[in-house]
Chain A
């Protein structure tokens, strides 16, 4: 089955700096890679996703990259703000099959 590794587990950055979270996956059949932001006690909220036929996607301050050959994908947040503080999960799946989550990265943005 799919296995998703995520690092770092915690990340502290100064407000305005960039944050990068990296993930790897094991199943080459996975073709959809969502990123979720989870605030304490709340549901995982999709913030951006990328499909296997795309190498990079950007949405304002958030970007994701995907290297299919290496089975790596990354989340980049630029100009971080205190409200970006949360736990971020990468995930991978194929079609309607189960979502496999990474372990999560606790991001703290220091004002």
Chain B
């Protein structure tokens, strides 16, 4: 069964450093998303991406965040200058063509900012 894969599974970084979280969505999917889950809290939407541009972003997704689909298969989330409060599990998701479809989630990257 196809699945969304994310790397790394765990990233530890120093405050102020840049991190790039990587995702490989399911190959025929057209819509891509990043979500964040702070420990013990709900899953929160960050950004959606379609047709090589951001289609929607939340208030969390400020200027320190950016997304890219550099090569037609990877989908990356960059955090430019990490803060302690960026520590969370980051989930990538993708969904297929057409409407009313399930979003498939990757296994997540646990980001720890120290």
Contacts and interface: CB of A to CB of B under 8 A. Distances in A.
Contacts of A102: 42
A31 B100 contact: yes
Interface residues of A, number: 24
A94 B106 CA distance: 21
B107 A34 contact: no
Contacts of A101: 42-44
A93 B93 CA distance: 14
Interface string A76-97: 0000000000000100011111
A51 B45 contact: no
Interface residues of B, number: 27
Nearest to B3: A43
Given A32-B100, A43-B106, A43-B107, A98 B43 contact: no
Contacts of A20: none
A61 interface: no
A98 B33 contact: yes
A97 B42 contact: no
A94 B31 CA distance: 13
A49 B102 contact: yes
Nearest to A96: B31
Nearest to A91: B43
B99 to A, nearest CB: 3
Contact of A99 (B30, B45, B50, B107): B45
Name which of B42, B45, B105, B110 has the most chain A CB atoms within 10 A of its CB: B42
A96 B102 contact: no
Interface of B: 30-31, 33, 35, 41-45, 48, 50, 56, 58, 89, 91, 93, 95, 99-103, 105-108, 110
Interface of A: 31-32, 34, 41-46, 49, 51, 89, 93-104
